[in-house]
Chain A
Amino acid sequence: MSDRFRLCPTTGLKVHAQADALIKANAVVATVALLIGGVTAVLVMLTRWQAIHLLPADWFYRLLTVHGMNMLIFFILFFEMAVLYFASAVLLNSRVAAPKMAWSAFVLMVAGTGLVEWTMFTGRADVLFTSYVPLRAHPAFYLGVILFAVGALVVVSIFFATLVVAKREKTYQGSVPLVTFGAATAAIIAVITLGHGAAIYIPTFLWSLNLMHVDAQVYRLVWWGLGHSSQQINVAAMVSVWYLLGGLTVGAVVLNEKISRSAFVLYVLFISMASAHHLLVDPGMGAAWKVWNTSYAMYLAVLASMVHGFTVPAGMELGQRLRGYTKGLFEWLRKAPWGDPGFSALVFSVIIFGFVGGITGVTFGTEQINIIAHNTLRIPGHFHATVVGGTALAFMGVTYYVIPLIFRKRIAFWPLARIQPYLFAGGMLVFSVAMTFAGTFGVPRRHWDISFQQAPFEVQYAPAVDLVIGVMAVGGLVAALGGGIYILVTVWSVFFGQPMEKGARA
């Protein structure tokens, strides 16, 4: 099986059977993680909506942990593993290097995920996504994360090995495609990220067994090398998906290969510094360290995002103009295929990531302003715009192409699929903006009860807070509906869908 290829009748690419199977397996597990993360998201949100306040305190923190781990780690990283196999073996017409090792890595990642899920659901790891020391979880929680990270690191190594195989076997001509270059950026950042993960989770695992001491400030410093950098893998992978979707949906052209590739290199060099944002109010770090890491050098990574934020829509505009849509400023946009969920997801992803996630992120990353935003709902408002409205939505959009091209199935419930990005993006936009507003009024993040009923002091928020949180909940429910439709459509299409061969032109 390992040397079998099929010819994709749509793209003309040679698809290695092992790449095909690995992409499918990783995408399916990613969707399961998305389902778990999505259900817990609704339960957490209905608790934060003070008018409903659904869960008791212990289950709130437990499910908030489950939500964070599934959405920020398992869903995203399993999907990114699929992206790495696609961007290496499929786009370069190559075989997967070491397929047996690839399957071993997949098993390792699934085993790690299972271990972490077990500890979280059984109340053995109520430590939230960050698992800050001295909060202590069951050793199996840390062990699960380590197994998952080792598996992911092996997949990243196989990605690089596949690039070498493709080069040696001359399966492509010239430079690697921009999408593969972007995926390589994500893979390099993944090595940095997983290195930090090993550096902090192995000692913490030993600490959980009472075998060594871990300093709380050192934990925060090193952990954020994992926690934030893992989201930078998302950024690089998401931008790669933007370029891919632009080409697939409207025939976008790359304005300037050198500029786009240089912007990816800026990510590699400077984006890891963004981790320092999380320590801006920590007393253990000096002002010079904070200012250097979160402004001067870090802005070069912001510059990279702004370059992509220009070249992606500009490439789409130029592609459309070259096909005759030249009237006025926006005919290229008005006459774009808005009924194609891949296109609508791409556009909304760029807008929400840039306008909401990007602007709030850079603003909160300013040392002085961070003091009024830190630990308020403004922070999750920011990262729901980047990770959910940006990355997850882009991944959803590309799924509508992965299903016919890789799974060879038609999209089930097509009318629902067409409106899915609108519901998800609209809901997530309202949710993120309302959350940010609530944070502006001082509403804390990660808090079960903002009425502080049993506190010895009284805390009063502006009456507008109740309204804003209500709006946030409505937006969240609409986004959850969009997420539910995505899961229904993808699962049904993959397991019960009509094969492409029956009727679809290829």
Chain B
Amino acid sequence: MSFHGVPQGVTSPPAPASAGEDESHKTPGTLVLVFVFLAAFVVYYFVNWKLLSFLWRIG
């Protein structure tokens, strides 16, 4: 719940973290996002080299 005009982090600061909830300290969701980022990087980088090869043909 938040007061009108005040962000939730001020009116209801996050509760203290409880280590007992998840002791593994794993972050699988972020890992998925990392691989999405990597795939986007590879695709964009490859497309740019391909574009360069079209514009500057050798031979």
Residues of A within 8 A of B (CB): 10, 248-251, 253, 255, 309-310, 313-314, 317-319, 321-324, 326, 329-330, 332-333, 337, 339-343, 354-355, 359-360, 362-363, 366, 368-369, 371-373, 400-401, 404-405, 410-412, 414, 440, 493, 497-498, 500, 503-506
Contact B10 A405 (CB under 8 A): yes
**Interface status of B29 (Cβ within 8 A of chain A):** yes
Count of residues in B whose CB is under 8 Å from the partner chain:
38
Contact B15 A251 (CB under 8 A): yes
27 inter-chain pairs at a CB distance below 8 angstroms, sorted by A residue, are: A10-B13, A248-B10, A248-B13, A250-B14, A251-B15, A251-B16, A251-B17, A314-B27, A317-B27, A318-B22, A318-B27, A322-B22, A323-B21, A329-B29, A332-B29, A333-B29, A337-B9, A343-B9, A354-B37, A360-B44, A366-B48, A368-B52, A371-B52, A372-B51, A400-B7, A412-B5, A504-B6
Interface residues of B in 3-59 (CB under 8 A from A): 3-11, 13-19, 21-22, 25, 27-30, 32-34, 37, 40-41, 44-45, 48-49, 51-52, 55-56
Say which residue of B5, B9, B13, B52 sits within 8 Å of A410 (CB atoms): B5
* Complex interface: chain B residues within 8 A of A333 (CB): 29
Contact B55 A372 (CB under 8 A): yes
Contact A249 B9 (CB under 8 A): yes
Which of B10, B25, B44 has the most C-beta atoms of chain A within 10 angstroms of its own C-beta? B10
Closest 7 CB pairs of A and B: A251-B14, A410-B5, A322-B17, A314-B30, A314-B27, A248-B9, A329-B29
CB distance from B54 to the nearest CB of A (A): 10
Residues of B within 8 A of A (CB): 2-11, 13-19, 21-22, 25, 27-30, 32-34, 37, 40-41, 44-45, 48-49, 51-52, 55-56
Contact A359 B41 (CB under 8 A): yes
* Complex interface: chain B residues within 8 A of A404 (CB): 6-7, 10
Contact B3 A363 (CB under 8 A): no
* Complex interface: chain A residues within 8 A of B14 (CB): 249-251, 319, 323
Known: A324-B18, A414-B5, A505-B11. 15 other contacts (CB 8 A): A248-B10, A250-B14, A251-B13, A318-B22, A321-B21, A322-B17, A322-B18, A322-B22, A323-B17, A323-B21, A340-B2, A362-B41, A372-B55, A404-B6, A504-B6
Contact A249 B22 (CB under 8 A): no
Contact B49 A359 (CB under 8 A): no
* Complex interface: chain A residues within 8 A of B55 (CB): 372
